[in-house]
Amino acid sequence: MARTGRRPGNQDTREAIIAAAREAFAEKGYDRASIRAIATGAGVDPALVHHYFGTKDQLFLATVNAPIDPAQILPRVLDGSTEELPERLVRTFLSVWDHPVSGPAAVALLRSGLQHDWSARMLREFLTTRVIRRVISQLQLDPAEAPLRGSLVATQMIGLGLIRYVLKVEPLAAAPPEVVVAAVAPTIHRYLLEPLDVPAASIP
């Protein structure tokens, strides 16, 4: 492919870092991938990784092509009463996906995330470390149940994104946000805050 950027040298370096980061995050997961190892993989100094991408967090978001940094919008979900957190979660999710810029980017992230094993691992890391873990860490949950509750919330939210925005199944695709919030928030409420009637010993 012809290089058309103004600064091809820098562009090459950025791409090498992104490629090394993608490999590291997909293979080791977010927590165990280090900036040092990514820099070595890209053949550059770790300082250069920080120079181009900032923190490991920011590098990860650039690597998955995240439409938005969850850290910026999660306060809208987490601030306020726990009882109403499910409603705020669904409402905030819809505001991202209904938005003319971040919406199509979210659809692209979901679509591309499912195409390869490595991209699926990246999407999983994104969901678990950027979103699920941060939401459940704010709640006083039984540690034996918290990860299961988090992954149940993920099933409902990613399924909502898929049916409403990717497959566009009606009438959900055209439903006003208030209808979706009223229908789905009680599910999130149960997954996060109500008894699950699942014996703790049977949770992996």
Binding footprint of its own copies on the chain (CB under 8 A)? 110-111, 113-115, 120, 123-124, 127-128, 132, 147-148, 151-152, 154-160, 162-164, 166-172, 174-176, 178-179, 182-184, 186-187, 190-191, 196-199, 202-204
Question: At 10, which helix (H) or strand (E)?
Answer: helix 8-32
Q: Is residue 34 a contact partner of residue 20, using CB atoms and an 8 Å limit?
A: no
Q: Return the structure tokens found at 81.
A: 């009463």
Nearer Cβ to its own copies, position 22 or 164?
164
Query: DSSP character for 202?
Result: G
Shortest distance, CB of residue 91 to its own copies, whole angstroms? 15
Cα separation, 25 vs 49, in Å, equals 15
Query: DSSP character for 171?
Result: T
Q: Is residue 130 a contact partner of residue 71, using CB atoms and an 8 Å limit?
A: yes
Shortest distance, CB of residue 9 to its own copies, whole angstroms? 34
Cα separation, 138 vs 173, in Å, equals 31
Nearer Cβ to its own copies, position 134 or 190?
190
Cα separation, 192 vs 140, in Å, equals 10
Q: Is residue 131 a contact partner of residue 76, using CB atoms and an 8 Å limit?
A: no
Shortest distance, CB of residue 25 to its own copies, whole angstroms? 14
Nearer Cβ to its own copies, position 9 or 171?
171
Nearer Cβ to its own copies, position 71 or 183?
183
Nearer Cβ to its own copies, position 40 or 151?
151
Q: Return the structure tokens found at 199.
A: 């014996």
Where do we find the tokens 């600064």?
7
Nearer Cβ to its own copies, position 33 or 123?
123
Shortest distance, CB of residue 35 to its own copies, whole angstroms? 25
Where do we find the tokens 């039984």?
142
Shortest distance, CB of residue 89 to its own copies, whole angstroms? 14
Where do we find the tokens 């920080």?
50
Shortest distance, CB of residue 155 to its own copies, whole angstroms? 4
